[in-house]
């Protein structure tokens, strides 16, 4: 897949490791305009000089260096509503916690050879950030006839978003709530989702269900919902949210009782298409 057909956004890639900078630039250059920085001063200059759409910070072997050396750019990026993403050579929970604490919207381990997955993650965060800026500015676009029909169809309905990562829930909720009249509720794991559905089964028109979660995963939660003794539990659409794309993993989702799957990271259009296909 080439970068053609997309407006090239400007991405700032930061790392104290020149080798990582070079490798990431090669991966992204076909899809984005890329500036590189190995020092806080040059990163600040790039943020001042260019219309930066996303900041990607690459953590090498020494994660402390990444957080200490580039501390100065975090507030500037956040104040300009520029999404900050961390890519780690060796991801761990402590670094992930630190990343979100400084305002990151995404943290993932680097997997060489998966360029399109990285590009999709960056585009997703850029789109979400731009959508958020429009909402915060009170701006709205004139809806098309199709968009008006979608809003009329979904008005008053409630969707349950289940994911153990709060940022993922917030992003999906923000995108869905751009549909006027659509209600969105959240659950942090499969057990909470099951209990919410069991209490008010007729309330939910569709469930977006993450697969990998603590306490109770999405597969188990789906099976529990389908086993409830009411008609709606058999018919409510349950859509898997999954980063897995292997046929065997998708088969597991469908065999658990899920109706369809949406690969992470998803775009706004992907999300809306799934809602309009399955929300009844």
Residue 11 confidence class, pLDDT cut points 50, 70, 90: very high
Q: Check residues 228 and 269 and name the one with the higher pLDDT.
A: 228
Q: Check residues 100 and 134 and name the one with the higher pLDDT.
A: 100
Q: What is the C-alpha separation between 193 and 56, in angstroms, rounded?
A: 33
Q: Which two tokens stand for residue 263?
A: 């690969």
Report pLDDT for 160: 97
Report pLDDT for 256: 95
Residue spans of the domains in the chain: they are 10-136, 145-278
Q: Check residues 98 and 3 and name the one with the higher pLDDT.
A: 98
**pLDDT tens per residue across span 21-80:** 888 888 898 889 999 888 778 888 888 888 899 999 888 766 666 677 677 788 888 778
Whether domain 10-136 has CATH 3.20.20.10: no
Q: What is the C-alpha separation between 181 and 19, in angstroms, rounded?
A: 49
Report pLDDT for 7: 62
Query: Which ranges of 107-242 would DSSP assign to H, the alpha helix?
Result: 115-136, 145-154, 166-176, 190-199, 218-226, 231-235
Report pLDDT for 255: 93
Q: Check residues 144 and 272 and name the one with the higher pLDDT.
A: 272
Rounded to the nearest integer, the mean pLDDT of the chain is 82
- Inter-residue contact 56 to 87 (CB < 8 Å): yes
Worst-scoring range by mean pLDDT, 34-43, 134-143, 193-202?
134-143
**pLDDT tens per residue across span 143-175:** 444 555 556 778 889 999 999 988 788 888 888
Fold for the domain defined by 145-278: Rossmann fold (3.40.50)
- Inter-residue contact 87 to 46 (CB < 8 Å): no
Same fold, 10-136 and 145-278: yes
Report pLDDT for 1: 34
Q: Which two tokens stand for residue 180?
A: 């006027």
DSSP state of 71: H
DSSP state of 202: G
Q: pTM of whole model > 0.75?
A: no
């Amino acid at each position: 897949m080439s970068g053609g057909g997309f407006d090239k956004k400007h991405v700032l890639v930061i790392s104290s490791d020149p080798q990582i900078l070079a490798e990431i630039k090669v991966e992204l250059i076909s899809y984005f305009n890329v500036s590189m920085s190995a020092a806080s001063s040059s990163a600040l200059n790039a943020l001042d000089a260019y219309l930066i759409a996303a900041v990607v910070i690459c953590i090498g072997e020494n994660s402390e260096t990444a957080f200490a050396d580039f501390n100065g750019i975090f507030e500037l990026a956040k104040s300009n509503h520029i999404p900050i993403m961390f890519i780690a050579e060796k991801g761990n929970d402590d670094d992930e916690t630190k990343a979100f604490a400084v305002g990151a919207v995404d943290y993932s381990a680097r997997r060489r050879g998966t360029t399109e997955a990285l590009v999709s993650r960056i585009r997703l965060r850029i789109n979400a950030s731009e959508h958020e800026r429009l909402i915060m500015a009170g701006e709205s676009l004139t809806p098309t006839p199709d968009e008006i029909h979608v809003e009329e169809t979904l008005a008053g309905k409630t969707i349950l978003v289940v994911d153990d990562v709060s940022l993922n829930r917030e992003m999906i909720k923000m995108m869905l709530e751009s549909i006027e009249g659509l209600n969105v509720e959240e659950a942090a794991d499969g057990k909470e989702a099951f209990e919410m559905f069991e209490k008010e089964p007729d309330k939910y028109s569709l469930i977006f269900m993450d697969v990998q979660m603590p306490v109770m995963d999405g597969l188990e939660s789906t099976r529990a919902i389908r086993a409830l003794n009411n008609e709606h539990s058999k018919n409510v659409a349950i859509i898997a949210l999954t980063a897995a794309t292997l046929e065997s993993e998708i088969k597991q989702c469908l065999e658990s009782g899920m109706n369809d799957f949406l690969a992470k990271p998803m775009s706004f259009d992907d999300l809306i298409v799934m809602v309009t296909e399955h929300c009844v």
